[in-house]
Structure 1
Amino acid sequence: MGSTVGTYYQTALNEGILRAEENVGSFRAQMVNSLCGKILRIDPNTGDGVASNPFYNPSQPRASQSRVWALGFRNPFRMTLQPNTGQSAAANGDPGTLLVGDVGWNTWEDLHIVHQAGLNCGWPLYEGLEAGSYYGTNVRNPDEPGRPTFESLCQPPTFATDDPNPANRRLRHARPALSWEHRNPVARIPSFNGGVPTTLALGMAGAPTGTSFKGNASVGGAYYSGNQFPTSYRNTYFFADYGANWIKNAVLRYEGDRWVQEVRDFAPAGFAQGIVDLEYNPLNGSLFCVNINSGEVMQISHGGNQAPVAKAAADVTSGTSPLRVQFSSAGSTDPEGGALTYEWTFGDGTASTEANPVHTFSAAGPKGFTVTQTVKDNGNLADSRTLVISVNSTAPSVRITAPADGALYPLDRESEYALRASATDRGGARLRYEWQVTLRHNNHAHREPVITEAAPTVLLSPVGCDGETYHYLITCRVTNEGGLVAVDSVKLYPNCASGSIAVRNVNAVPQADAVRVSWENPAASFEEVLVVAKENQGFQDKPVGTAYTANADFNGNGTGIEGGKVVYRGTGTGVTVTNLGVAKTYFFRVYARVGDAWNGGVEVNATPLFQPGKCYQLTVRHSGKSLTASPTGNAVQNDFKGAAGQLWRLVEVEAGYYQILATHNGKALEVADGALERGAAVRLGEYTGGNHQKWKLVKNTEGYYQL
């Protein structure tokens, strides 16, 4: 929310990267005169905005607002233009429909369909289909007259949200067409009920066909208009998730209040190794998938003619010049058994179409040649392999000597490691070093920058042994002047018996409008504990530095971290976090520090209890109407008007069970006559303590309660 500890906001201000007004953190995505969190539409010749853009200023065509097409994105990592949409004339202001994969924060991933100018996709006020933890923080927009709050400029939608003036569309949240959760298999679309925004999970009555799923990094995808796949895939959208590594297919068609009509499984979770891009190849009707972790580009074909599989080999890969090499295509196959054609390029300007060519490489000194073999079938589908042939050079060797593979790093402090390797090259060539440290955390990786020193020193944070999976992967890659490479790697694991600085036995006990968080301090020496709290979702990263303000009042001045707040710092063993809302789940992460190094923290969550003296409105999800006590004593649903018969008190009468009392007459909600059968009436009656007057609130994964 601006001036956040551990960020480079001051450097950005000093160097003119940010205006002072833009020092509002993630809320820059909501400012039309900031490029952050936007989709831009520009003149490719000048870089200026296009005159038909929604916020175009003819006197300042280069201004940020003149270039903005849509706003409110966190990380629109990939987008594709849906074919046969839009108009070619820029003056018409209709470039077409964009299908946008917006990477979420802690809970939801989004697919946005940007079909109009000026749409506000909500971040950071909204994540997924509903308001997030930034909503209600009352941060003000310094670019707007009167400095209104950001949430006042992005209201929840109603069924009829369109405005003929594109510049006004930013005033309503344009909800994603589809969102899916990180932790639970819940995938939802937006819906409305009587003008009230609601959601529908896949597979529910009235929802699109499909099975709910989970993932944690929306990649976006490709619109398929080919005919190699079955006709049911034609003119549909393929999209992927980097974390879960699946590919799914969606039928998109705007009908009523929704875009998504069906979601189908295509490639299962774990199919690939870090999908970062999907592309449609119009030349052969296949899909291409880019895997960043394996360094592969995969071609995906469906039935019919399948691509061949190339195999390339050489009898020698290094030697002195002139070097005669016999290449082989043995093992290259076509799934249908058809004939194959071959093309070899040798990296020296020459080529061959033989299956098993012989080629001589010459060079005055050490040199590497990249040889590419391309195999094609009679349907013109292709596959390729590469080899490196090194002349006047032999392959180097490398072995990491420190740290040892399988070593355990301590959890009571930040650890310094000297990285050392024994690397040799028989030709005496100079070697280029590339070290990289990667922290593997659950199903994803945090890669540090590559270090090109031969013997660097690195610091490892004390993370692990908190119920989640961690290890460090340290890789050393050496390359000689001939282009030959050797690689070695070691893994380091957390030492759970090392006297961790992690707190223990963390508990969160709900109270009325509050939660009591308690813990046991680390057995090892530590300097302080930091507790952060956040609504609806957990934390991903660690604190940075020590400049934090703590306030146990959730509405107080605690320093912001990941959309939450610091509610405690010190050496005690508990804190009661107050001013929390009911019917909301709060996540609490308890970190410990030694020196400047924070551990990964331990996380718990709890839902505060209802205040016995407060009145509540009970709203049914499907209609948006409120539980109402009728004059006859029955409980019915009706439009909420603030009447006494629509206000209820919830009083806990035994562990987890409540009596629900109408405020106008003090009578309790009960099942008529204590009936056990389905369809029994619910009415009001004098409270007698019977079990038919006790209600348990069971929260589902979408934040609603079952009574």
Structure 2
Amino acid sequence: MLLYRQLALLGWLFTSAGLWAQFPQDITDQLVLDGLGAPVGLTFDQTERIYVWTKAGRVILIEDGEKLPDPLIDIGEEVATYGDHGLLGFALHPNFRQNGYFYLLYAVDRHHLLYYGTPDYDPDANLPEAATIGRVCRYTADVATDFTTVVPGSRKVLLGESPGTGIPLLHKSHGVGTLAFGSDGSLLLSCGDGGSYAGTDVGAGSAGSYDAQGLADGIITPAEDVGAFRSQMVDSHSGKILRIDPETGDGLPSNPFYDPARPRAARSRVWALGLRNPFRFTIRPGTGGHSPEEGDPGTLFIGDVGWAYWEEVNVADQGGLNFGWPIFEGMYRRWQYNGRPTPNLTAANPRQGQAGCDLPFFRFQDLLLDATADPAPFFPNPCQPGEAIPTDIPRFVHQRPAITYSNQDWNDEEQGTLVGDFGPDGQGRTFHLEEAGSPVAGLPFTGICNLGGIFYQGRGFPAGYDGQLITADFSGWVRRLTFDPAQQLLRADSLGQTGRPIVALAMHPSDGCIYYLAYGVPGALRRICYGGNAPPQARLDLDQTYGPAPLMVQFSAAESEDPEGASLTYLWEFGDGDSSTEVAPQHTFTATSDQPASFWVRLTVRDTGNLAHQVWETVSVNNTPPEAAISSFADGDRYTTTGPTLLPLQAEATDAEHSPGALSYRWEVFFHHNTHFHPEPPDTARESAVWLAAEGCGEEDYWYRVRLTVTDGAGLSATDEAELFPYCGPAQTVFDTVWAEVRAGQAYVHWQTVEETVGSHFRIASSPDGRHFTPGPETLAGAEDRDYVLSQPAPGPAPLFYRIEVIGPDGYQDFSRVVEA
């Protein structure tokens, strides 16, 4: 499937500098399996099979440390993967091994949302950088295949069956998050505010959100056009924990705002609110009821990803709690939003028009008070301060986080770790973690993106770990938070630093280890274990990987090592039936003909405790690597920041021993932001295209890096990389009109410009689908009347799409709007 992906600021920060892994001597960080391709979550079933789901929409099955050949399901055609979006939530029914039910929570590609089931639908199309929704679906795994395939026709949409019934996604981030079953059998899910991280989003496109599109499509109502303030609305799915019936998707009658006349309305589904981007949450074992009617799914521990200031770990031990976003972030009022009084159009003020009152609706700031121990706080009507806001309007007190820590990269107001309690006057107090009088013990820490956590319930770690919340941050650290039975935090301790971008944690059912996913490409499943023997680390070195047969290769495993310093044994398997147990053997590879042949060399290093680690390398005889070069743009080219750029991904590749059809391609795109970068899932099409977001030209550094890898049929590869930078100067080209026509078998493209730069040149590009463009004839800028026309043969009667590509003298690229001939 040819994917056109929108790249944007992910919010998950993939650091290019990296961090050294650091754990106490008795704790080990071990690789289980890599090459998972941007994994975002994992879980286990009762048989200890591992389920890993990826951003692109695949659910991978792992048994005995090996990935099964086929995924359980792949819904990539339906999933929006630009920015933070993708398949982010997955859950197995508590009785999965009996009924086969599993659940998916994902962002829907806009093209699929609008056109699936109509003549206009194209399975290869994708509409990024646009308004869409989050959706929950249930599928049934087939017992006849040991639950490794899906029963055809078993798809059931529980939430988001149409644009107006889904979770609004109106920017590149703050979308969907976790799916989890409560102890009572209810299904819970987390949703971000659907707004923009790029500024103070109060609706009407104020921070670059797709609000107008969302309104036109019915994704949001006019009352919901308030940006991040949707988190404060009980009549919006955004910025919430939702609690639904796993059979129907309806809200449950025991939810705090349930409306029996509208069980599928947002308010009927809301369990908690006031969240920004609650990517991951967990439920404390041993809490909660046993029936949905009790209204107690268990105590939720929620990692809410902050804006640029504070990361939060929140505790929801009952329904209806409000965690404050966007009026609060961490312990403090967030001045950018608190200082923007915004009316809640679902909260009419009965005092309007009386005694000079000109406030038809209460503002969100009127309906949320600072944290207090007072069980019955007073909410004054701003038009009559001695009169309370009516009780039939939802009113809230800020539920402060159990612990909050500063964003180490962006919080220029205050660095540290904060906790709180209530003073003798019943008002909330805030302490730095290390401060005298702090109700929580521990040393301060910072991070960049909290990922919730899991409660440790294994036997692998010492008894003191049992029942602790193991939480993590995308920067790579893992910590232990100790809560008492009343859900009060007592202390925060470091477990260690993985040095890898963690996106998910899970407890293995029996081995006592903490499993985690390291995000990125290729992506890895790893585990943190206590005590015992850590496996060795194999290192395979060789002096050459290709050449004419017979080819003698010198191998070495001398750089392999064991964490405990134990002696090692070595097994070399050369892929031709021969093997060696030497540390540094020589081996000669032969071939039966002069055609290319490949050998998969495997090194297994084993310690005295019989733990092993394997690594592989390819040796190819009668073969040379291909030659590859990116051809559709040059290193150092500039992209426009006036709007998104559709960048073609095209290359020239040759191979002396293989035909063009025997070459495979892999495109990787990285969005750099200061010292870190954001990788996207690779694209394996020979030719493709990618949307570049209009990011750059502010105080921060932004640029893109594109890597191409071409591999021949015998396993040898060549790579090429190029970087693109934002153009931050004045507009080089401003188009007036652009139109196209077909006459006598020729397609003519006409355009006029208002502004243009001397030295630039124009090129027409054609596309059969309006997305993938092929460059055509070109001309220099500088026409006296700024009136241009270029032509090329029309391919036939089918419509064709055209645009004008602008290439500036400094490599700057820009594009006109797309027109149809």
Question: For this structure pair, what is the TM-score category when the shorter chain's length is used for normalisation?
Answer: 0.5 to 0.7
Report the secondary structure of 1:212's partner residue: coil
Aligned partners of 2:281 and 2:300 also within 8 Å: yes
Report the secondary structure of 2:312's partner residue: strand
Following TM superposition, by how much is the alpha carbon of 1:209 offset from its aligned partner in structure 2, in angstroms?
A: 1.8
Structure 1 410/455 Cα, relative in aligned 2: closer, same or farther at 3 Å?
closer
Partners of 1:19 and 1:367 lie apart in 2 by: 62
Report the secondary structure of 1:134's partner residue: helix
Give the structure-1-normalised TM-score. 0.56
Partner of 1:297: 525
Structure 1 460/171 Cα, relative in aligned 2: closer, same or farther at 3 Å?
closer
Letter in 1 for 2:205: T
Report the secondary structure of 1:148's partner residue: strand
Partner of 2:687: 454
Q: State which of 140, 158, 162 in structure 1 corresponds to 2:343.
A: 140
Following TM superposition, by how much is the alpha carbon of 1:203 offset from its aligned partner in structure 2, in angstroms?
A: 0.6
Following TM superposition, by how much is the alpha carbon of 1:230 offset from its aligned partner in structure 2, in angstroms?
A: 3.0
Aligned partners of 1:181 and 1:214 also within 8 Å: yes
Following TM superposition, by how much is the alpha carbon of 1:434 offset from its aligned partner in structure 2, in angstroms?
A: 4.4
Following TM superposition, by how much is the alpha carbon of 1:199 offset from its aligned partner in structure 2, in angstroms?
A: 0.7
Q: State which of 217, 240, 246 in structure 2 corresponds to 1:38.
A: 240
Partners of 1:392 and 1:92 lie apart in 2 by: 71
Matched, 1:98 2:98: no
Structure 1 412/442 Cα, relative in aligned 2: closer, same or farther at 3 Å?
closer
Following TM superposition, by how much is the alpha carbon of 1:338 offset from its aligned partner in structure 2, in angstroms?
A: 9.8
Structure 1 484/223 Cα, relative in aligned 2: closer, same or farther at 3 Å?
farther
Matched, 1:178 2:178: no
Moved more, 42-51 or 143-152: 143-152
Following TM superposition, by how much is the alpha carbon of 1:387 offset from its aligned partner in structure 2, in angstroms?
A: 7.3
Partners of 1:374 and 1:438 lie apart in 2 by: 33
Partner of 1:150: 364
Partner of 2:429: 198
Partner of 1:159: 373
Report the secondary structure of 2:213's partner residue: helix
Aligned partners of 2:234 and 2:266 also within 8 Å: yes
Partner of 2:417: 187
Partners of 2:618 and 2:261 lie apart in 1 by: 56
Partner of 2:462: 230
Letter in 1 for 2:707: T
Aligned partners of 1:120 and 1:170 also within 8 Å: no
Structure 1 169/371 Cα, relative in aligned 2: closer, same or farther at 3 Å?
farther
Report the secondary structure of 1:79's partner residue: strand
Aligned partners of 2:668 and 2:706 also within 8 Å: yes
Following TM superposition, by how much is the alpha carbon of 1:202 offset from its aligned partner in structure 2, in angstroms?
A: 0.6
Partners of 2:343 and 2:607 lie apart in 1 by: 62
Letter in 2 for 1:4: G
Partner of 1:424: 654
Alignment of 1:322-333 (within 5 A): none
Partners of 2:256 and 2:698 lie apart in 1 by: 51
Structure 1 474/595 Cα, relative in aligned 2: closer, same or farther at 3 Å?
closer
CA offsets, 1:148-181, max 9 Å, x none? 2112222212124489xx9998611111111111
Following TM superposition, by how much is the alpha carbon of 1:291 offset from its aligned partner in structure 2, in angstroms?
A: 1.8
Partners of 1:8 and 1:482 lie apart in 2 by: 47
Letter in 2 for 1:202: L
Partners of 1:366 and 1:43 lie apart in 2 by: 58
Structure 1 415/69 Cα, relative in aligned 2: closer, same or farther at 3 Å?
closer
Matched, 1:398 2:628: yes
Following TM superposition, by how much is the alpha carbon of 1:61 offset from its aligned partner in structure 2, in angstroms?
A: 2.1
CA offsets, 1:414-438, max 9 Å, x none? 9998866442343214345444443
Partners of 1:338 and 1:169 lie apart in 2 by: 67
Partner of 2:705: 473
Matched, 1:2 2:198: no
Report the secondary structure of 1:306's partner residue: coil
Unaligned 5+ segments in structure 1 are 320-326, 347-353, 357-364, 502-523, 528-593, 598-707
Partners of 2:365 and 2:417 lie apart in 1 by: 25
Q: State which of 492, 515, 526 in structure 2 corresponds to 1:288.
A: 515
Report the secondary structure of 1:301's partner residue: strand
Q: Which structure is larger by alpha-carbon Rg, 1 or 2? A: 1
Alignment of 1:364-513 (within 5 A): 396-400=626-630, 407=636, 421-425=651-655, 426-430=657-661, 431-446=663-678, 452=685, 454=687, 463=696, 472-478=704-710, 486-491=718-723
Q: State which of 273, 297, 319 in structure 2 corresponds to 1:117.
A: 319
Aligned partners of 1:334 and 1:340 also within 8 Å: no
Q: State which of 481, 488, 491 in structure 2 corresponds to 1:259.
A: 488
Structure 1 137/486 Cα, relative in aligned 2: closer, same or farther at 3 Å?
same
Following TM superposition, by how much is the alpha carbon of 1:60 offset from its aligned partner in structure 2, in angstroms?
A: 2.4
Moved more, 100-109 or 209-218: 209-218
Partner of 1:682: none
Partners of 1:398 and 1:367 lie apart in 2 by: 21
Alignment of 1:17-28 (within 5 A): 17-28=219-230
Partners of 1:105 and 1:118 lie apart in 2 by: 23
Partners of 2:606 and 2:260 lie apart in 1 by: 53
Structure 1 479/75 Cα, relative in aligned 2: closer, same or farther at 3 Å?
farther
Partners of 2:667 and 2:210 lie apart in 1 by: 26
Structure 1 53/525 Cα, relative in aligned 2: closer, same or farther at 3 Å?
closer
Partner of 1:606: none
Partner of 1:81: 283
Partners of 1:31 and 1:304 lie apart in 2 by: 51
Unaligned 5+ segments in structure 2 are 1-201, 350-360, 378-390, 548-554, 583-594, 734-811, 816-821
Partners of 2:229 and 2:598 lie apart in 1 by: 50
Aligned partners of 1:120 and 1:169 also within 8 Å: no
Aligned partners of 1:398 and 1:422 also within 8 Å: yes
Partners of 2:608 and 2:716 lie apart in 1 by: 35
Partner of 2:266: 64
Aligned pair count reads: 488
Letter in 1 for 2:628: V
Following TM superposition, by how much is the alpha carbon of 1:248 offset from its aligned partner in structure 2, in angstroms?
A: 2.2
Aligned partners of 1:81 and 1:99 also within 8 Å: yes
Partner of 2:71: none
Following TM superposition, by how much is the alpha carbon of 1:77 offset from its aligned partner in structure 2, in angstroms?
A: 0.8
Structure 1 45/310 Cα, relative in aligned 2: closer, same or farther at 3 Å?
farther
Structure 1 32/372 Cα, relative in aligned 2: closer, same or farther at 3 Å?
farther
Letter in 1 for 2:338: Y
Structure 1 32/482 Cα, relative in aligned 2: closer, same or farther at 3 Å?
farther
Structure 1 211/141 Cα, relative in aligned 2: closer, same or farther at 3 Å?
same
Aligned partners of 2:520 and 2:679 also within 8 Å: no
Structure 1 367/110 Cα, relative in aligned 2: closer, same or farther at 3 Å?
farther
Partner of 1:239: 471
Partners of 1:190 and 1:403 lie apart in 2 by: 54
Partners of 2:675 and 2:544 lie apart in 1 by: 39
Give the structure-2-normalised TM-score. 0.49
Report the secondary structure of 2:293's partner residue: helix
